[in-house]
Structure formats: structure tokens, C-alpha cells
Amino acid sequence: MSSVDQAYETQLKNIQIKTGKTLDRLYAMIQKSGLTKHGEIREMLKRDLGLGHGDANTLTHYYLKSLETQSGQAATPGDVLAEIYSGPKAELRPIHDKLLAAIEKFGAFEIAPKKNYVSLRRKKQFAMISPATKTRVEVGINMKGLTPTARLIEMPAGGMCQYKVNVTAVGEVDKELIAWIRQAYDNAG
């Protein structure tokens, strides 16, 4: 199991611990609500169970994926990344895996998968990872006060992240990039 899959499995286990309910019971609760839209289910889980946005989003995603699974088995956490890193973007997956492996060493955080990217959160989002093109992963860094460089690109105000770094090869996941992400991680908790 990859480190990404392990992170999702850990997040799902932590959700079960927080709520005192198994995934089957949580899925039954969602089904009983009659809600079918992702956003509605996520908001219900936040309201009724007190889950944070990332946990509610992840649980909703896996519930909806479980409905799509023909065999009746719940989808695995790696399914989200398999979708994001499919087709011509598949070759970028090793960059994502190396980033996440380094970030996991920082400590606890939530992984909130979206349609085209993965949001990394503590009390707030500190980073995002997205295969922006078939040759480039964008790493968004949510942190104020960094000095922009040719590599650390300042983003316009009002965006999801204040900075981004374009990564085109695994070797570019280096100490400098990880240090910037670590600063954002520390400030988000």
C-alpha cells in the first residue's frame, strides 16, 4: 500500500474513532438522510457529526464512490488519485507520492480530495497538489510573508493559495520546496 493510500486509510479510521461509528454505519446514516449531492452530504456530516470540512469531504467522496462500485465493496483511497492521475497525467503520480511522503513526516493533517487536486489541511488548508498539465504538477502553498523567487511564484490576492511552485520532475521535490510547505504546515495548525 502506498503512503497516499495509508494516509487515506488513517483518515477514514480517525473519522470512525471521532464519530464512534463504523464506515458501514456512517454510510447507512448518509443513505437514510436521502441526500444525494456531494455538497449536501458533506454539510450534513459537518453539522450532525461535527466533522471538519476535510473529513466530511473525504467521507462523502468514499460513500459516493461505494455507490458506484459494482462489486458492492467500498472504493479504496487510491481511487481518487487514480482518477486525478489518469491518462496523460499518470506519469506525474511519482511526483505527488514523493511530495506526500515528505509532508507526512510533519505530523497529522487531513487530505481532502477534490475533482482535479488534493487539498492538504490542518485547521486550514496549507497546501494543494494538482497535476495542472500532462507535464507539470502545481504545488500551491498557503502562507503569507514568503519572498517570491523565480521558482516560488506569488499568486494574485484572493486565490486559494498565496504561492505556487511548478514541479516537472521527482528531483524537484527538494529541501527548498519541502521547507516552504513545512512553514505553511506549521502556520496552519
* Predicted local confidence at residue 61, as pLDDT: 82
* Predicted local confidence at residue 74, as pLDDT: 43
Predicted confidence band at 158 (pLDDT cuts at 50, 70, 90)?
Answer: confident
C-alpha distances (whole Å) from 106 to each of 101, 111, 119, 130, 177 are 10, 14, 16, 20, 14
Question: Where are the domains positioned within the chain?
Answer: 3-79, 87-187
The whole-chain average pLDDT of the chain stands at 86
Query: Bigger pLDDT: 113 or 167?
Result: 167
pTM of the model: 0.61
Q: What is the full DSSP assignment across 153-165?
A: EEPPTTSS-SEEE
Considering the segment(s) 87-187 as one domain, its CATH architecture is: 2-Layer Sandwich (3.30)
C-alpha cell at 163: 504561492
